[in-house]
Amino acid sequence: MTVYDFTATDIDGNERSLKDYAGRALLIVNVASKCGLTPQYEGLEALYRETRERGLEILGFPCNQFGGQEPGTEDEIAQFCSTSYDVSFPLFGKIDVNGPEAHPLFAYLRAQAPGDFGPDSGGLYDWVKSSRPEALGTDEVKWNFTKFLVGRDGAVVRRYEPTVLPEQIRPDLDSLLDA
């Protein structure tokens, strides 16, 4: 099984097979419009524009599970991303990334790359520790802007926790795209 075995509804309500991205590297991110990390859209878009021709697709999945920070409709989310950050990478419909209603793609991503949200991840660790202690030490997505890097073969390569900025991923991405 790979990420290409999944489908998801895009931001316009159309069912999309992730097979459409076969042969491309993917950065799959759960996003939110009203989060302290929302400015990462700018870095994601810059990364996308710089590396798309080399084979990168960034897939944004809005999620409202963390502090209600993605309350809008799909139309509102698309409008916000377009006008605030000129986002041109594909966006999908709002999903859950954890729990019994988690989208199967994210259940798969979490199982393939459980992550380790440790104390070295900055102040966000302390916040998660105090507000969501049950999530520490699990494969759960801990917050908005968790990123999963997927190789051209559809296999999960690595998980980046929310505080890792898009530009910090660039060396791993360059290695993957140049392979």
Find the domain containing 90 and state its range: 3-178
Contacts of 63 (CB under 8 A, 6+ apart): 30, 31, 32, 70, 94, 95, 96, 97, 141, 144
Q: What is the pLDDT of residue 134?
A: 54
Tokens of residue 52, six digits: 């798309």
Q: What is the pLDDT of residue 119?
A: 47
Q: What is the pLDDT of residue 116?
A: 61
pLDDT by residue (tens digit) across 3-38?
A: 999 999 999 999 999 999 999 999 999 999 999 999
Q: What is the pLDDT of residue 12?
A: 97
Could you tell me if 85 and 54 are in contact, meaning their C-beta atoms sit under 8 angstroms apart? no
Residues of the chain with pLDDT under 70: 115-138
Q: What is the pLDDT of residue 121?
A: 52
Domain count, the chain: 1
Q: What is the pTM of this model?
A: 0.90
Q: What is the pLDDT of residue 112?
A: 92
Q: How far is CA 131 from CA 28, 99, 111, 142, in A?
A: 25, 16, 23, 11
Contacts of 136 (CB under 8 A, 6+ apart): 117, 128, 129, 142
3-state percent helix, strand, coil for the chain, nearest multiple of 5: 40, 20, 40
pLDDT by residue (tens digit) across 149-164?
A: 999 999 999 999 888 9
Query: The domain that contains 159 carries what CATH number?
Result: 3.40.30.10
Cite the active site residues. Answer: 35
